Structure formats: C-alpha cells, structure tokens
Structure 1
C-alpha cells in the first residue's frame, strides 16, 4: 500500500523527501558533465594503443553489476574485443588487457588486491571510485582514477559510473557517444519528472504508480533492455523495498508455469483488482527500441503478452542506444524514489500518512 495522494502534492513530496533524493537523482546530467571533464583530464587516449586482448568489467556490489551489464550489452555480440563481466579481477590479466571497475567502498579489499595485481602486471586500469582509500591507492599511480564530483548518495551515481565506463568503450572504438547530448537528455528527463509535474505528465510518477502494489517481473526484450531492467531492480530494492524478478523475455517463456500464470491473469477481463489479497505478479516488458531488431523483439514479446505493461524511453527520445538506456535508468531511479517516499520505505512521512487515510 502507498499514499498515492502524495504524488499530487509537491509540498508534501518535498517535506517527505528529507534527504533530498529527488534532487540528487535529478543531477544525473550534471554527473555526466563532471565525469566527462574528469575523463578528459585523466586522458583515456592511450587505452587505444593497439587492440587490447580483452576488456574486463569488474562488477563489485552496489550498482556496479547493472552498469557493467549495460556496458557489455552496448559493446554488442559483434564486438571485436572480448568483453568479460566478472566479480573480481581475473588472475590472468596482463599488459594487453583493459580493466574497468567501480565500487562505492574506498576500502574494498577484494578490489584493492585485484587492482594491485592488474597494475603490477601492466594492465590498463580505469577506476570509478572515491579518490581516497585503499582501492585508489592500490593503482600505485598507474591506474586512471575518476572520482565522483557531484555529491549524491552512492546508489544514485549510475550516471557517473556509466559515463566513465562508456568513455572506456569510446576510447577503444567500441561505441560512440556525445556526452554533452547525453547530459542534456538527462536534464530534460529530470525536468519531466519534477515533483511539480502531475502524474499524467510525469514519466517517473506514472511508472511508480504502475509498479505499486505489484510484484514486478521486469523482463527485457533483448540483452540491452534486460541489463537496464537489472538496474531498475536494484533501484527499486534500494528505495522502495521491492523485490523484482529480472530476466529476458526469451528465458521467461521457458518458465512455463509462471509464464502461463501471468498470461492467464492478464486475460481475465472481469477480474476485480480490489478483491485481490496482497500484491500480485505483473509483467513489465522493458524495451529500448534502439534499432530494428530491438523493435521486432519488442513486437513479438508484446504479442505474446498483450496484458504486459511496456516500459520504453518514449517516442521523443533519440534512436540512440546510449541515450535511451541512460533515460530508462534515470526514470527507474526517480520512480523508485517516488515510490519509496509514498510507501514510507525511505523513512519519510509517507507511512504516517497511510495511518490517517
């Protein structure tokens, strides 16, 4: 249950958001600009000295796993460089490898040991980590450390970590991105999601209302969309206390009992949701529509699950995979904060408000 009346009252929203999480989430564009400037200062040009043997994306606990999966999906199956997502720095890294890692914990001993090994063996190492602490120091001055400059909670630093990792892909010639355009698009998304915007015009509030009182099944229509769904599940768990199922639609179809159950529940036109006890599973198909193949996979998934709720960046967004992924990630962050405020899971007055309704 949640106090959805909170979404129609900007003053109460501001009061509930005592930690300023909505404002922090809205600084995603600023995070991109700051990260891009710091990347230029660090100099990533030498990462492209010859084709590396591999690119290793180290996904430490936090939002790192979601970011790394998004980056690997952006590189794509035809990437000329093997892209490996790992929880720790592999023991085989050497001078021909590039390592990217993120952690919000400046003292992460596992990552510190891995970075020390990688730099000692001559690997190129890029770290999106705080500049003080054992992890940064373990690079022995040879790792490129790009620390966050915009003061926001660790769980809302997707834009920073994503920009640093994306800059590695760009330096290696594996993708392209205009960071100024990316920052501008995120600013526009934040404006659309401003607390003063009513739910019908606010994509984050609308998404929060769609997710409320359900067990979300976040099923991506392709690998890239599934990676974004993973970040969405992380955000909803952090802020709204929701446990989400995340997989790709093709895999979901093989879980026959669950798939049949959600198809049949959505086909009952006479079902009364007010009579349901507790939360019920609901499929949210995540799509990016960044190319013809992604659109075809989305059409196939929606045809198979016509009652599913479709989450896409919006028709106004550019047909660019990087921009569309970043927009969806920010929308999930903002929706999760809105939902947490209304449900009282962030410690605000939402829970007390429920008691007097």
Structure 2
C-alpha cells in the first residue's frame, strides 16, 4: 500500500466539500470561544464576586490532563505558588486554603471526577469548566465549588473561560476574550479552503510538511506548548512522526540528518527518506535566550540542508499571550488538516 501527497486536492472543490466537517470545525473556533464566554458570563461574574469576599488562596493547583496549558499561561504571572497536576488525584498538601481549577470540557473521565471530588472532600475552593450535566459537575458539588458551564469539547474555549475567571480574581494575566476570538477568526480567514494554494499559508505549509518528519520548536513557554499541540495534530493527520521539544532535544535530530545533496537521485540511489523539516512557531518573543536557541536550530538546519518553515502571529491582532497561542495552534491545525486532505492511499 502506497501513500503520497497530491497537492491538487487542496484546491479541488469536490475534495474540499467532502472535508467540510473537518474544516468547518476549525473555522468555528472563534465562534465557540465567543459562545462559551457569553453563556458563562452570569456564573462567572457571580463566582468572581464570591471570591472577592474570601482571602487570596495559599496556592493554585491546576488539575487534570489539560493542566499544562493553564501552567503555560499562569506560571509567569500567578502571584501565589502554582502547580500543574496532570496525574490522578491531587498533591497531598492541598487543603482548605488552596484553589483547585480544572478544564473538563468533555465532562467525563474517572481521573477528572476523582480529582474534583477529592478537592471538595478536602474543603478546597474549586473552579471547574465542564458541561453542567456531567459526571465531573456532579462530583464538583460543594459549598466552595463553582461550575462554569461549557457546552463544547473545545479545550481552548474552556481554558479561556477559566483564565477569564482567574484574571478577574487577580490570579492570572489579562485575558481579552474578544481578542482571542478575533485572532482565531483571522487565522480562519487566512487559511480558508476558499483561498487557493498561492495565497493560503496553511495549504503551503501542508505541502512543505508532506514527505518530511516535522521537528517543531517554540521559544516561549506558550509557543512550546503550541508546538506540542500542533505536533499531535500532524501525527493524527498523517500517521507519521512529528517531534516537538526544547532546542537541546531537537538539535540531535537535526545533527543526525544526512547532509542534503542537490544531485542525489533518491530513486536511482535507493536513498529515499523522510528528511526532517524544522517548523518554528514564533509568537514574537524576543528574549535573548529565545533568539539564541532559534539561531542555533536554524544554523544547524542550514548546515544540513534541512528546510525551515516559520509560523508567526499578526502582531496588530494578538497583543496578549493567549491570543498568540491560539493563533499559532489554529494555523498549525489547519496545516495538519490540509495535509490529511492531500494524502492519497493506493
């Protein structure tokens, strides 16, 4: 069985029509954020008012498998100790002085339900974004608990809701929910299936990704998290490897690449291989260590003849970190979707 990438499929109306459910889900990302934020405004405001009457928590614990996104946003900003606890249960020291937050947009999962129930049992403050009629919501019932009702399984939309709450109670950075939605809408417009190959950045990126082993890097904490999410999407779309990590973990991959020779004939020489492609997710961070790592990766790629692609944000539309993160992730997910659409199996 042979699989190859046929780029003509990316502008084929019949193919794109068949892929409409996949692409429509991406295009509606901004609308989902707006809808969830609007639907949760009343309980969110009430929860913020209740929090104003209580003391600042001793620590904030983000529980559950999606805690890493909250950690990427909150760690540099949270004025109290912050812990992301992706495993089952909670740290042993969590008690009535602490705040436990959780993203559970699907509302199920024994681990999420157990962690929330444990937080309630210990008397901790609990804020969880989940469907109102779900297992997690039932386990979250308690005197110091707040359920922020979400109705989609979109992890980013649920994260925006929780981060909006933490912003209002002065435990997190400023969150402009409309800016996040606008950033998602901007990517959806730029990467729309109705824009042809020549002017569509996601379609062009999918062509670059085809027949390669993508190596993804983001310099800031949030860009690195975005790189991991995009790598997951590429793996699901193509069924092949995609690696995301820190510069010191990715450099050996680039160093191991065979130097590229323009005169190689892969068919005649029997040297056909999936060469690495360095994909840089640039959220505009210009810290010295970020510039240094990016330069090292790009220099090593150049020395090995490895192609480099960069995904950037629209600075005018993405002034907050969360908006830039959302823009990078959606751009990468669009590229993964077009990669999936272009793949043909004989």
Return the offset for 1:148.
3.3
**Corresponding residue of 1:227:** 225
**Corresponding residue of 2:150:** 148
**Corresponding residue of 1:333:** 333
Deviations 1:180-220 (A, max 9, x none): 12212211211111111012322222222222111111122
Structure 2: distance between partners of 1:30 and 1:41: 19
**Corresponding residue of 2:176:** 178
Gaps of 5+ in 1: 344-350
Instruction: Look up the SS of the partner of 1:265 in the other structure.
Output: coil
Determine if contact 1:29/1:159 at 8 Å carries over to the other structure. no
Aligned residue pairs, count: 328
Q: Does residue 209 of structure 2 align to residue 211 of structure 1?
A: yes
Judged with a 3 Å threshold, the aligned counterparts in structure 2 of structure 1 residues 294 and 335 are, in CA distance, closer, same or farther, namely farther
Return the offset for 1:276.
5.0
- Listed as ranges, the matches of 1:7-46 within 5 Å are 7-17=10-20, 20-43=21-44, 44-45=47-48, 46=50
Return the offset for 1:273.
6.9
Judged with a 3 Å threshold, the aligned counterparts in structure 2 of structure 1 residues 243 and 129 are, in CA distance, closer, same or farther, namely farther
Structure number with bigger Rg? 2
Structure 2: distance between partners of 1:73 and 1:240: 27
Deviations 1:117-141 (A, max 9, x none): 1022222222232322321100115
**Corresponding residue of 1:92:** 93
**Corresponding residue of 1:58:** 63
Determine if contact 1:31/1:149 at 8 Å carries over to the other structure. no
Judged with a 3 Å threshold, the aligned counterparts in structure 2 of structure 1 residues 235 and 148 are, in CA distance, closer, same or farther, namely farther
Structure 2: distance between partners of 1:294 and 1:42: 41
Structure 2: distance between partners of 1:222 and 1:80: 20
Structure 1: distance between partners of 2:93 and 2:129: 22
Judged with a 3 Å threshold, the aligned counterparts in structure 2 of structure 1 residues 95 and 199 are, in CA distance, closer, same or farther, namely farther
Query: Comparing 101-110 with 205-214, which one deviates more in the overlay?
Result: 101-110
Q: Does residue 318 of structure 2 align to residue 321 of structure 1?
A: no
Gaps of 5+ in 2: none
Structure 2: distance between partners of 1:168 and 1:251: 35
Return the offset for 1:161.
2.4
RMSD between aligned alpha carbons? 2.7
Deviations 1:313-355 (A, max 9, x none): 2565534322111101111222222222222xxxxxxx4xx54
Q: TM-score, normalised by structure 2?
A: 0.83
**Corresponding residue of 1:75:** 74
Q: TM-score, normalised by structure 1?
A: 0.81
